[in-house]
Amino acid sequence: MSRAVSALLARGLVLVLVLASPVLAQPKPRASASALAPDAGTPPEPPRFAWPKLQVLEHVEANDIVEAGGVPVALRAVHVKESARELVQRFADAFRDGGLYVPPGKDQPQLANNAAMLTAVDPRRRITYTVILMAQPDGTTTLYLGEANHALARAPGTEHDFAPMPPGAQGALRVNAEGSRTLSFQVPLSGAQVQAFYDDALLKAGWKRGDEAGVYTRTGAELRLTHQAGDEGRRAVVLLYQSRAR
């Protein structure tokens, strides 16, 4: 998967997991007395959700598996003939027809750069389905489709982090893909303090400043640091590590 696509999906997955976690954490409804009766039988499990059929022009990227917050996520990207406007409703209908829970519109996150995102949840299997839609100038759409399997989640640790986090960092989310890793969090520091922390920590770890601001390099790898104002006076920080040819 290309670095541009991986970076976009990584940013989207941060929103997907934050949105899906409260839904998946809700307790399952208690069975009624009749359902518990010996002769009630067990209702058949509904079929697993299948993505709607589309007029595919090309498969933009091969299938890929990444790990976001300890959750394995299957990803693929396709270029389709349909417009983004009609696809939003088609995916919403497909999610509902497939028996998935679709959070209300106000709870559906939107991405920048002319991209929209729609997420639905299968609470029985603990799987979230997400589609990112990017409208193209010719009226076609590039789609990024993701399936996050929360049933297979594992607690992420810090022992394999590629960079340290400043004291006070909270809400860390790690996304691991082939050839790249992303670490994001919020910290009660100013932009200048974040920059100073990483200038010191990364240079001590053998990184060198690159030609661009916020870019650090060392043999076989590149690290990009971005940060912006977050909630309650905190700074939202994203670190993207990418391996590169020697």
| End-to-end Cα distance, the chain | 19
Q: Is residue 42 part of a domain?
A: no
CATH code where residue 178 lies: 3.30.1370.80
Q: Is residue 26 part of a domain?
A: no
For residues 64-73, average pLDDT: 75
Kindly state whether residues 84 and 202 are assigned to the same domain: no
Q: What is the DSSP letter of 114?
A: T
Provide the domain limits for residue 81.
3-21+54-152
Kindly state whether residues 206 and 137 are assigned to the same domain: no
Q: Is residue 38 part of a domain?
A: no
Kindly state whether residues 60 and 121 are assigned to the same domain: yes
Q: Is residue 228 part of a domain?
A: yes
Q: Is residue 215 part of a domain?
A: yes
Give the 3-state secondary structure percentages of the chain, helix then strand then coil, rounded to 5: 25, 35, 35
Strand order from edge to edge, sheet including 215-218? 110-111, 115-122, 127-135, 141-149, 71-80, 56-68, 170-177, 180-187, 235-243, 221-229, 215-218, 208-209
Tell which phi-psi region holds residue 145, choosing left (phi > 0), alpha (psi between -120 and 50) or beta: beta
Tens-digit pLDDT profile for residues 135-163: 999 999 999 888 888 888 777 666 678 89
CATH code where residue 110 lies: 3.30.310
The residue written with tokens 């909270």 in the block is 170
Kindly state whether residues 17 and 100 are assigned to the same domain: yes
> From the CB of residue 36, how many other CB atoms can be counted at a distance below 10 Å?
9
Better-predicted residue by pLDDT, 186 or 13: 186
Q: What is the domain count for the chain? A: 2
Q: Can you give the pLDDT at residue 245?
A: 65
Kindly state whether residues 134 and 183 are assigned to the same domain: no
> From the CB of residue 108, how many other CB atoms can be counted at a distance below 10 Å?
17
Kindly state whether residues 108 and 183 are assigned to the same domain: no
C-alpha 8 chain-centroid distance:
9
Kindly state whether residues 9 and 85 are assigned to the same domain: yes
CA distance 74 to 84: 22
What percent of the chain has a predicted confidence (pLDDT) above 70? 74
Q: Is residue 28 part of a domain?
A: no
Q: Can you give the pLDDT at residue 24?
A: 53
